[in-house]
Amino acid sequence: MFRSTAVSARHVSRGFAQRRLASTKTVKEVLDEVIPKKQLQLKQLKTEHGQAVLGDVKVEHVVGGMRGLKAMLWEASVLDPNEGIRFHGLTIPDCQNALTAAPGGKEIIAESMFWLLLTGKVPTEAETRQLSRQLAEKGDLPEYIEKLIDSLPPTLHPMTQLGMGVAALNHESKFQEAYERGIKKSEYWTYALEDSLNLLARLPALAARIYRNVYNPGKPIPKINKDLDLVGNYVNMLGYGDNHDLTEYLRLYIAIHGDHEGGNASAHTSHLVGSTLSDPYLSYAAALYALAGPLHGLANQEVLRWQMNMQKELGDDITHENIEDYLWKTLKSGQVVPGYGHGVLRYPDPRFMALQDFCESRPNLLADPIVQLVKKTYEVAPAVLKEHGKTKNPFPNVDAASGCVLYHYGLTEFKYYTVIFGVSRALGCLTQYVWSRALGLPIERPKSLSMDAIEKLIKQ
């Protein structure tokens, strides 16, 4: 197993397992208990510490995309530059040990991660299975959505189609209906939760229908199996239901991609749009269009394309030396090395390491030439990027590994990869939407400045 010394070996407190008490509560019943405590915590923060300083705003923040500026409340996860992502304090290895897998599987399923993100508690197996069945029972698409997606040209980018489908689902919004009817602000979160569960349940069928229409027109789509988890049904509807390893990989991929704090473009977009009290469907549709940009979610397809171009140019006998030459060729041409660097992280992305561990556990996968290339590139690229000197973080992010495994298992359509990312990122964005309504967070409205105004403030 190849792992940076900066990332510690897997260690998990036994206390996490002990927290999985015998319980069969619904996710709403758990939130009914948790939300009042969080509301009190927020009230105390505002009244007792409202004037506490968290950091200074500098000109580089204003002109540099607000990078690193501490200016958002996001409950489910915190991203540390050195340690990576934590979900309510749990690392990815912690989650892999504590959260429920599918029957017959080993990887986290989306429902168990969603429960943790939403409640801050590790669900019991019974609670996870209950949520899986609840989502499966809600998972069928309305007929008008099927007709909408079927009417779109197959040349339209899959992410564009996904955003259109999600936005159109707001015809079903219980939150919008309740708001128009006139409800108390204290009740917003219950309707936000209902919409969020309905949207999460329907994303696999929507994403699978887009895949069928673009890549396998006319092929029947299997019906939702009420006994399968969310990702199990998704893979089955994609047409790969008999591939256990791909199903397990996508369970891991979707769970660990589910949230990555609130500052990334898609999460921030969903939070901003949601702060206007647009319903969860419109909020998440906006997030998807942020995710579709090449500097964000579209990067995973760009990484695999770059890796395959390298493989084509270098041939079958790929060494560390000719990988190093190819990296320098890329950098000297003025391009970046895709899959390396991160806006926050300064060490290898723990999500990248989790996907590499998945490859290490499967000899057939590890023997794949493109998977081997990813491994060898990781062994060479950080030193090259350090010597180049223009990259703050010379280590791989999750995009460096995510696409090659999909390609190995036959999911070779690059343009579709970001749709899978879109299905996963709903876990965190919808979680925060519920919490934003529960905590009564206001509309987001930062102050903007012109360059002349900035210069005037500096002189003063």
Catalytic residues: 296, 342, 399
What element of type H or E holds 267? Answer: helix 265-274
The residues facing 302 across adjacent strands are none
What is the C-alpha separation between 166 and 288, in angstroms, rounded?
9
Burial class (CB in 10 A: 0-12, 13-18, 19+), 132: buried
The residues facing 77 across adjacent strands are 87
Q: How far is CA 203 from CA 411, 423, 436, in A?
A: 18, 6, 22
- Between helix 188-215 and helix 174-181 the angle, nearest 10°, is 140
What is the C-alpha separation between 280 and 199, in angstroms, rounded?
8
Rg over alpha carbons for the chain, rounded to the nearest Å, is 22
- Between helix 188-215 and helix 158-168 the angle, nearest 10°, is 140
What is the C-alpha separation between 430 and 435, in angstroms, rounded?
9
Q: 250 with 235: CB under 8 angstroms?
A: yes
For residue 377, give both structure tokens: 């590139």
The residue written with tokens 């970001």 in the block is 418
What element of type H or E holds 87? Answer: strand 84-87
**Backbone angles phi and psi of 400, in degrees to 5:** -65, -20
Q: What share of the chain is helix, strand, coil (3-state, %, to 5)?
A: 60, 5, 35
The residues facing 84 across adjacent strands are 80
Burial class (CB in 10 A: 0-12, 13-18, 19+), 339: buried
The residue written with tokens 């995309």 in the block is 65
The residue written with tokens 């915590």 in the block is 41
